[in-house]
Chain A
Amino acid sequence: DSGVTQTPKHLITATGQRVTLRCSPRSGDLSVYWYQQSLDQGLQFLIQYYNGEERAKGNILERFSAQQFPDLHSELNLSSLELGDSALYFCASSVATEGRSNSPLHFGNGTRLTVT
């Protein structure tokens, strides 16, 4: 068990809808990362937060947004969903602050989103 909790595990919704994915990081981890993994593909970095502030942005669509709350949990909001948004969405957490440690990412089990 990585200690990172993601809910829900599965989500099925229709095109055009909006969903929210939730992530609770490991106790003590201040950094939260979101990744998208389409079927049989690699991990696409979406966005990273550190202690409530956005720190790095990847290939995140404008239809997607995220935030990290004072209790350090994070939410990823996906709107105007398209079929191509169907994927496994991972949250990961790390203690890394300025990248001065070798802290690895600890991944949740992912939320599998299916857009029909």
Chain B
Amino acid sequence: AQTVTQSQPEMSVQEAETVTLSCTYDTSESNYYLFWYKQPPSRQMILVIRQEAYKQQNATENRFSVNFQKAAKSFSLKISDSQLGDTAMYFCAFMSGTYKYIFGTGTRLKVLA
């Protein structure tokens, strides 16, 4: 069975600095997709970034980028120039051809002024 592990329950970062959130997963499939979602205090779930496993190039969305290491089954999220509005819970998610999206337990990020 696929699993997603986020080993950092909580992290903090100073405003304008860079932080990396880690995510590892386990699967025997070769074709799958990975996502990072953000859940701010409003509790909405917001898609941050996505990565296709067959693409070697790491995805980037403005200040958000990923470091995708397929062999290591690692999918970390880097947030550059952290802003107060980045304070949120971040969830890593895995999706394969079996329809199910599997979420990690989340990392609570606090950006400090």
Q: Which residues of A contact B (CB under 8 A)?
A: 31, 33, 35, 37, 41-43, 45, 48, 50, 55-56, 58, 88, 90, 92, 96, 98-100, 102, 104-107, 109-110
Contacts and interface: CB of A to CB of B under 8 A. Distances in A.
B98 A102 contact: no
B33 A102 contact: yes
Interface residues of B, number: 24
Contact of A90 (B33, B45, B52, B100): B45
A31 B98 CA distance: 13
Contacts of A102: 33, 50, 52
A45 B101 contact: yes
Given A42-B105, A102-B33, A104-B35, A92 B45 contact: yes
Contacts of A105: 35, 45, 47, 93, 101
B100 A48 contact: yes
B97 interface: yes
Given A42-B91, A42-B106, A107-B45, A100 B97 contact: yes
B100 A43 contact: no
B97 A43 contact: no
A90 B52 CA distance: 25
B103 interface: yes
A18 to B, nearest CB: 24
Given A42-B91, A43-B91, A99 B98 contact: yes
A45 B91 contact: no
Given A99-B95, A104-B50, A42 B103 contact: yes
A48 B47 CA distance: 19
A4 to B, nearest CB: 10
